[in-house]
Amino acid sequence: MLGSSPEEKRKNLIRMVGIASEAGVEVVVLDSERAVDDLKPADVEAAAEYSDAVGGPVVAPTIPVRRSDFGSLLPSYLEALSRRRRMGLCIVAGNPAYLSVEEASVRPGRLLWFACRVASRVLNGRPLLLGTENVEGVSRRICSSLGCTAFLLLDEGVEDEARTFAELSRGGVAVYAPFFIGEDGVSKNVERVLVSYARRRKRLARAVGNGSVGLREALRVSLVGGVEEVAERISTLASSRVNTLVGFPAELSAEQLGNLVSASRLGWRKG
């Protein structure tokens, strides 16, 4: 969503950090697992430096521990984290769809423990998100021991999953959710984003009997509607002990970010 060239991505990331700051967003998570999509650590640090200057959000890049460049990527980000106050980290095992066969065959448990342990020492209380999908068991142990924020994906039954992690994690629980906030329905482009996300959700697939997943089913695992309607859904998450919402914009715009903040504030008060 930020562009195709490294220069375009760097420029647009800084612009989006500025927009997020004005909207009142507290954390910007860079949802990138494919090496070809990544910004360079220096570019992420530049965005965090800008955020420092304007009093903006924490910028948290994603590090998949099974990717072959993990050994160089983590130290680069740890150096940047030691210099920038408004930087966090999101650590994930790595989705096999974005990995080579060799990378996907790596067992992630010990790598997740290592990455979270060393990052928590540098972050010293700043956001450290740990992706839980397909590594729920080890994630529970890490969150309980190190106080990472359990990072769940909006899916069928996420409320029960959130309550389980909330009992264990001193760092709280975050939920990642695609969203589109508006009163006039969704465009075809927005629908494609929402349906693409929904088709990757395992519990939704089981709930619909492995049948076809279209927009109607996608609405079960996304935040769509007017501000009031989305706020009601957020209040349900809040009452399930979710304390951080990471929104994935189906349409990237300042208006959508502003709407999400409005819905979140209203939803958290209700929850």
CA distances from 270 to 230, 232, 262 (A): 12, 8, 13
- How far apart are the C-alpha atoms of 82 and 84, rounded to whole Å? 6
The whole-model pTM stands at 0.94
Confirm whether 207 is domain-assigned: no
CATH of the domain at 263: 3.20.20.80
pLDDT per residue as tens, the chain (271 positions) = 888 898 999 999 999 999 999 999 999 999 887 888 889 999 999 999 999 999 999 999 999 999 999 999 999 999 999 999 999 999 999 988 889 999 999 999 999 999 999 999 999 899 999 999 999 999 999 999 999 999 999 999 999 999 999 998 888 999 999 999 998 889 999 999 999 999 999 999 999 987 789 999 999 999 999 999 999 999 999 999 999 999 999 998 999 999 999 999 999 988 7
CA distances from 135 to 1, 94, 109 (A): 27, 10, 8
Confirm whether 201 is domain-assigned: no
- How far apart are the C-alpha atoms of 219 and 262, rounded to whole Å? 20
The per-residue pLDDT for 171 is 87
Task: Count structural domains, the chain.
Answer: 1
φ and ψ at 249, to 5 degrees?
A: -70, 120
Helix (H) or strand (E) holding 253: none
Confirm whether 66 is domain-assigned: yes
Q: Work out the end-to-end distance of the chain between its first and last CA atoms, rounded to an integer number of angstroms.
A: 31
- How far apart are the C-alpha atoms of 162 and 2, rounded to whole Å? 30
Confirm whether 136 is domain-assigned: yes
Confirm whether 191 is domain-assigned: no
- How far apart are the C-alpha atoms of 95 and 160, rounded to whole Å? 23
Confirm whether 1 is domain-assigned: no
Confirm whether 35 is domain-assigned: yes
Confirm whether 190 is domain-assigned: no
**Residue range(s) defining the domain that contains residue 154:** 6-184+227-270
- How far apart are the C-alpha atoms of 46 and 53, rounded to whole Å? 11
